[in-house]
Structure 1
């Protein structure tokens, strides 16, 4: 039986690992073009490890928002060094960023939920739509346990806005499962996790959490719990104007 730090992994976790590998194998076999969206945080490094060590035909990409921590960007190099793989990076439209900053200010996202979601729309949602243009399916590292907005997360859903399939193969995993796996397989992890950041996003929108706080309490901590999504996983994102284009900004 697999062991981690001298202890045997539970039969339940070994079964989850087997299901995860089987799911990812099946996803890769079922689609000609499929991508995995990685935030370079713990869950996504786990999925990246499975994809790359099993040599699956799933492209790993990340959204370089221009506001990420240096430690997060450093994970690109660590993946290259460990697996010999270059993670595909997608960037926001420079003109859209410039207009937002000119009209509202660099850190206007602190002022209202609408302005925060508008920033996420420019730096995350629109680049995601371009990254997924022409693919048949995409994979995420989301888990049900992560937040109140994800408790009903399905392992397989249809992304109707983009007309593609979406898979959340870690939906059933707990935080303890994730870290047991990462430690056992010595998977590279973002050093921010050791500093109290269980969930990692853009630097100005992420903080370390206090003992006993929800794992996503450090994301957009000035907002209520039920608004803490950036729009990447909201199924009503409108896609207009042809393949890959989108209306990422919320109504204001």
Structure 2
């Protein structure tokens, strides 16, 4: 990997999620890791397999920082994250509709509070001017940096060295390196598992929940109960719209 960008910046950071793409970045950077801080934004409810995996990464990475959020407390205060949120089941909605069995919130709010905001705070506090990320333009879940390999935003340069890589290319590189990947990929997961109890990102989360069902059935039962309540609440909210459309 070309080290030119690293040499021109203060305190380069690799955001490492335990996903296959950030792992590929880590391995590409291996000869240069003495210059890079590997940062794991742990939202506060990591899967035990992720914790164990991060421990193994930490054991050989020279500079490793763990940022810890408080997702369980955030959920208690604001509700469970959801892709489609019943408004009357949010904290704001309760003011007019009364308290239901469970609250829900937009998943972006939960991720921002417990993962993305701590990352930004770390960057501002550390004075880092270069962030390396595993984002690829072939993914359908991407941040606002989108398709640029190198882009500057708010005084920080973001470098996405895998931007042009296909999913197959990432896997081929990891196999060539003999890399260990987290176990939820065995179930067909396509991205990292940030929180064991995530009830959002359902188009990506099914395989990770399948791993949770097999590895920790008691925890899976908690998530399943919340998803059942969410489905019921969504059905209740959509019925008036469906009746109008049927007329």
TM-score band, normalised by the shorter chain? Answer: 0.5 to 0.7
CA distance in 1, matches of 2:6, 2:153: 17
In structure 1, list runs of 5 or more residues that go unmatched: 1-20, 210-220, 222-252
Which runs of 5 or more residues in structure 2 are unaligned? 86-103, 209-226, 228-247
Partner residue of 2:120?
129
Contact 1:157 1:166 in 2 (8 A): yes
Change (3 A) 1:80 1:149: closer
Q: How many pairs were matched up?
A: 181
1:87 to 64, 67, 79: 64
Q: Which structure 2 residues correspond to residues 19-168 of structure 1 after superposition, within 5 A? A: 21-22=1-2, 25-81=3-59, 83-85=60-62, 87-92=64-69, 94=70, 98=73, 100-105=74-79, 107-109=80-82, 112=85, 115-133=106-124, 134-147=127-140, 149=142, 152-160=146-154, 163-168=155-160
When normalised by structure 1's length, the TM-score is: 0.64
Q: The residue matched to 1:208 in structure 2 has which SS?
A: helix
Q: CA RMSD in A?
A: 2.7
State whether residues 79 and 86 of structure 1, in contact with CA within 8 Å, keep that contact through their aligned partners in structure 2. Answer: no
Aligned residue for 2:13, secondary structure, equals strand
Name 1:181's counterpart in structure 2: 173
Q: Work out the CA distance in 1 between the residues paired with 2:21 and 2:78.
A: 33
- Secondary structure of the residue aligned to 2:26 is helix
Rg comparison, structure with higher value = 2
| Contact preservation (8 Å) 1:97, 1:123 | no
Q: Note the C-alpha offset of 1:39.
A: 0.7
Give the Å deviation of 1:63: 0.5
Conservation of the 8 A alpha-carbon contact between 2:45 and 2:72: no
Q: 2:207 is matched with which residue?
A: 208
Deviation, 1:207, is: 2.6
